[in-house]
Amino acid sequence: MAELNKFSKTLTQEVTNPAAQAMLYGIGLKEEDFIKPQIGIASTGYEGNPCNMHLNGLSVYVKQGVQANEMVGLIFNTIGVSDGMTNGNDGMRYSLPSRDIIADSIETVVAAQWYDGVIAVVGCDKNMPGAIMAMARLDRPAIMVYGGTIRSGHYKGQKLDIVSAFEALGKKFANNISDEDYKGIIQNSIPGQGACGGMYTANTMASSIEAMGLSLPFSSSYPATHEGKQEECKKIGAAMKRLLELNITPKDIITKKSLENALTLVMALGGSTNAALHYLAIARAADIPLTLDDIQAISDRVPFIADLKPSGKYFMEDMLEIGGVPAVTKYLFEKGYIHGDCITVTGKTVAENLAEAPDLNFETQKIVFPIETPIKVTGHIQVLYGNLAPTGSVAKITGKEGLTFDGEAKVCEHESEIIDMLAKHEIKPGHVVVIRNAGPKGGPGMSEMLKPTSAVMGAGLGDKIALITDGRFSGGTHGFVVGHITPEAFDGGPIALVKDGDRISIDANTRQLTLHISDEEMATRKAAWVQPAPRFTKGMLGRYIRTVKSASEGCVTDEA
Ligand code: FES
């Protein structure tokens, strides 16, 4: 059997570490604890966000399960920021960088404190990829516990979630909602703890990480307030013990095949475009080559089958009733879309786990469509190139809005400008709104366009305009949108050269994003372009601008 305390024994067994041993007695360990493996329990819990407010509580259940399995559990915290609350007002600049701070924090504590394994209890969008990147870097036995999706809110017989609040703002701009109803929606959209309730980024990452094998089956399906979530936390200790005994580490679990499984779930469920960014980064942390073209190839072969928000009808909480993510993964496995031989945190393979999963019942459930009659025959994530995105961009095209768009450019130098333009009715049907200087360096931090896109929807323009940006889109976004445009404006990418009135076409058939000006005109504009001064030169954002790679490389910050 593997040596279970191979890292912590450096502190607990070596005579040259008396200070460390004295400190371990100081925190309450007994002599018999010194031979036990030590497990770091990383919580991104904090009080200020529904996605994270309950995670410290869940960590206590995790610790109980760890201690009950003859290991020492030691809880520590890392940061988190709320994507829902950072949106707009420039706070969003901190959101994507927070992913790498979470990764760095977990790596730092687990490595410095000599923990033998790590359990990450995580909730909001950036928590999950940050934790998995750290696990890959550390490569010690590791399990992720998802804090769970939120329950839906209710107002006047309508089910609500966070996007309802943003869309209410758009309706307000369009004078389509009373003050009473506006307030009613804001007050009732978020009924308590849990991550945003559609197939947005948090639920996308949780579902796909479960399919990748780094969380227990059903981790992504139990809502935050479901009793199954506490039960899962208590079971983690036994699972971690098994991983230590079998010496199964994240690099055994994160493989090209398991990344394909994860991305298959993203496509089948209609998940967030952010998944492209995060899986590029996770793959790099695990030293596995994965490119935008690999993601496109998976999108080409996997049908989009789940009628979940933002483009569909149902919430993540509804998934549990039909068998949760295990039932969907089992169905995809039976249809030949999932690799069954990948090892997972249960110590079993994907196929062995799925043998115990429930079956989808196509007579009774309406959320998941049969593969033969999908919502769309291929995935919704499309990688576009062309003279506006020479090194790639990522679009979410569900087909509902069509596959091509041709229109006149309306340029916003900052995302907030679109809100003013909408209020003044300057955005008209047929416009391609270009939001630039929102990239990883230019933003900095590659803001999500949740506020602009929701406001566009609320204003009734969702199917009448397109929106392109070097920033990102929230998982809550729907409509004709292209993001992650590279090179970004800050680096002099062609998006920096667009002018109001230029013709732009988006073609998901040919995968081209085209600015219809001549090469000569493009060269003239490029010659006249001057790189803007970075918006920050010091502090975390200053360092981020200096270290971040492009969106097509996952926006990683730990590579030369
Ligand atoms: Fe945390 Fe949406 S704000 S998942």
Q: Is the pLDDT of residue 476 over 70?
A: no
CATH, domain 381-553, list 3.40.50.2030, 3.40.190.170, 3.50.30.80, 2.30.40.10 = 3.50.30.80
Reported as half-sphere exposure (CB side, CA atoms, 13 A), residue 409 has a value of: 26
> Ligand 1: distance of its center to the CA of 407 in Å?
32
The model carries a pTM of 0.96
408 is in an annotated binding site: no
Q: Amino acid identity, residue 126?
A: K
307 is in an annotated binding site: no
Which letter does DSSP use for residue 479 in this model? Answer: S
Q: Which residues are identified as catalytic?
A: 474
Residues 365-419 pLDDT 10s: 999 999 999 999 999 999 999 999 999 999 988 777 788 999 999 999 988 898 8
- Ligand 1 near 81 CB (within 6 A): no
Query: Residue for token digits 């070596």?
Result: 14
Among 44, 53, 54, 82, the mutation site with the greatest number of ligand 1 atoms within 8 A of its Cβ is 82
413 is in an annotated binding site: no
Reference 462, options 168, 170, 88, 169; nearest CA is 170
502 is in an annotated binding site: no
Query: Residue for token digits 């039976």?
Result: 334
519 is in an annotated binding site: no
> Ligand 1: distance of its center to the CA of 304 in Å?
23
Residues contacting residue 106 through CB under 8 Å, at least 6 positions apart: 40, 42, 78, 118, 120, 130, 131, 134, 135, 138
Question: Which tokens is 109 given?
Answer: 């504590």
ipTM at complex level: 0.99
Q: Atom 1, ligand 1: which residue's CA is nearest? A: 124
- Ligand 1 near 84 CB (within 6 A): yes
Residues 84-122 pLDDT 10s: 887 655 778 999 999 999 999 999 999 999 999 999 999
Helix (H, G, I), strand (E, B) or coil at 539: helix
Query: Residue for token digits 């950072």?
Result: 86
Type and span of the H or E element at 42: strand 38-43
State which ligand 1 atom lies nearest to the alpha carbon of 203.
Answer: 4
- Ligand 1 near 269 CB (within 6 A): no
Secondary-structure class of domain 37-149+194-355 per CATH: alpha beta
State which ligand 1 atom lies nearest to the alpha carbon of 195.
Answer: 4
Reference 135, options 285, 298, 359; nearest CA is 285
- Ligand 1 near 82 CB (within 6 A): yes
pLDDT value of residue 87: 63
Identical fold, 37-149+194-355 and 381-553: no
Question: Which tokens is 19 given?
Answer: 């200070």
Cβ–Cβ < 8 Å for 98, 81: yes
Domain boundaries, the chain: 37-149+194-355, 381-553
Cβ–Cβ < 8 Å for 236, 119: yes
Query: How many percent of the chain have pLDDT more than 90?
Result: 87
Work out whether the CA dihedral 91, 124, 139, 276 comes out positive or negative. negative
- Ligand 1 near 92 CB (within 6 A): no
Distances (CA, A) of 45 to 55, 57, 67, 78: 5, 8, 20, 8
- Ligand 1 near 161 CB (within 6 A): no
> Ligand 1: distance of its center to the CA of 409 in Å?
31
